[in-house]
Amino acid sequence: MEHVISVLVENRPGVLAHIAGMFSQRGYNIDSLAVGETMDSTLSRITVVARGDDRVIGQIIKQLGKIVDVVRIVDLAEKQHVSRELVLVKVACDNKNRPEIMQLCDIFRARIIDVGHTSLVIEVVGEPGKISALVELFKPFGILEICRTGRVGVFRGEKILKSRND
């Protein structure tokens, strides 16, 4: 099962490398990774998507908890949450197929952010399934380049991820 794990960490050099190293040393795969500073500049939020049964995810959380710079860990998959990913896709196009590509963008609520003579750069935000479906539809036109961010997620409603001191 896929789990979205949110990790609040001290915003210091080397913390991300330490966390990624823990995954590597233990033989766990990271499906998605996103890192960014929080509203508190001393803290960063790392969102990791990993697959595994409850035992494996429990081990990952336990090992993360042993890292000194980790402040808080939450498995968002256990709670009501929303998560999204951003993808930029450069698709080959010409005057004949441009309207069809634009129609697909409308259907999937994607945005064309750059127009060239022989390509379009398209921004897609959403669930990984939605993004993968659109990418599959773009393949026959020719995907020239693709860049995916890691997934990010937050709790639904009033619940928030707080540091231990809050």
What amino acid occupies position 80? Q
Walk along the chain (166 residues) and give the pLDDT tens digit of each residue.
889 999 999 999 999 999 999 999 989 999 999 999 999 999 999 999 999 888 999 999 999 999 999 999 999 987 888 889 999 999 999 999 999 999 999 999 999 999 999 999 999 999 989 999 999 999 999 999 999 998 998 888 888 777 755 5
pTM of the model: 0.83
Strands (E), the chain: 2-10, 32-37, 43-51, 70-75, 81-92, 111-115, 119-126, 143-148, 152-155
Q: Which domains does the chain have, with CATH numbers?
A: 2-79 (3.30.70.260), 82-152 (3.30.70.1150)
